[in-house]
Amino acid sequence: MNLQNFDFSQIFTLETLSIIVRLLIIIFIGFPILYMIRKWAKRYFTKRVSAQQGMIISKIVYYIGLFILLVPILNEFGFKLSHILGAAGIVGIALGFASQTSVSNVISGLFLIAERPFQVNDVITIQNITGVVLSIDTLSVKIRTFDNKYVRIPNETIIKSEVTNITHFPIRRVDLKIGIAYKEDIERVRDLLLDIARKNPVCLNEPEPLVIFSGFGSSSIDLLFVAWATKEDWLSLNNKLAVEIKRRFDEEGIEIPFPHISLYTGSRTESMPIKLDQGN
């Protein structure tokens, strides 16, 4: 082929150049604008409503915008919207029969979004898995555990399981089970525990801390010490109370008993030797 005699105008016609320009505008201007609108929608509705609603609305905005941008691109290549919708309907029916589990997860996801048993950033427990909710999507819920593992749980499993939302309410209760020796004065120990709670800056005065008699144990008097904190300070209060109780008990000479084990060698064995340390 002689390139000198080739007519490039047959390729680069005005109509072709117009199509290329429109495609470049959609790709290099439309998609960045869609990305910015999605980020703005997520940030705006997260502040005004909740993190979960912000995520859902941003996804709706993204998919609608993506559809609006893809339709003219496909039209430029000769694909008509009616043909696309018809093909999508056929494919959707085929996929519906082939993926009944996915459809069940989608329906379960809609129930989760409507019922709102938990939201993004809540701490939940599902089937012995505890972690922070990262997202609630149409097929599954993503969780980050406290040892930094990424867990994906299908929505259908969540609907059928017991879910505990640990951070649903603004305050939480710290429960500490404490055993004291039978020789100790319960009222004295009670006053000491309440004093520890009052002096802790993150412990709430309302509801007030309580010391509850739990029962007579095999080697101790069992008490339940409860105190309240905001959900953000719960872990800090739990740790600080335990450390402070041990320190104050040591200072006051209050004994925390522990189980003792008696060893018996049997009637047909020799007696265990016992050595007495006779001090001067």
Number of H helices, E strands in the chain: 8, 8
Q: Please, what are the averages of pLDDT over each run of 10 residues along the chain (280 residues)?
A: 51 66 78 83 76 71 78 69 58 54 76 84 92 89 94 91 93 95 94 95 94 91 96 94 95 85 59 59
pLDDT tens track for 106-151? 788 878 877 888 988 899 999 899 999 998 888 889 999 999 999 9
Domains of the chain by start residue, with CATH: 14-98 (1.10.287.1260), 117-165 (2.30.30.60), 171-252 (3.30.70.100)
Contact between residue 279 and residue 273 where contact means Cβ atoms under 8 Å apart: no
Longest dimension (CA), the chain: 123
- pLDDT at position 71 is 74
Position 92 scores a pLDDT of 58
Please tell me the predicted confidence (pLDDT) of residue 120: 87
Q: What angle do CA 119, 120, 125 make, to 5 degrees?
A: 70
Q: Which of 84, 154, 88, 168 lies closest to 126 in space, CA to CA? A: 154
Which residues have a Cβ under 8 Å from the Cβ of 48 and sit 6 or more positions away? none
- Interior CA angle at 190 toward 254 and 205, to 5°? 130
Residue closest to 140 by CA, chosen among 104, 109, 100, 96: 109
**DSSP β-ladder status, 150-154 and 140-145:** antiparallel
Task: Give 70-79 contacts, CB < 8 A, sequence gap 24+.
Answer: 72/22, 72/26, 73/23, 73/26, 76/19, 76/22, 76/23
279 three-state secondary structure = coil
How many other β-carbons are positioned within 10 Å of the β-carbon of residue 149?
10
Peptide bond into 207 cis (omega under 30): yes
- Report the predicted TM-score, pTM, of the whole model to 2 decimal places: 0.61
Distance between CA atoms of residues 76 and 15, nearest Å: 11
Predicted pLDDT at 66 = 79
| Closest C-alpha to 160, from 122, 120, 107, 123 | 107
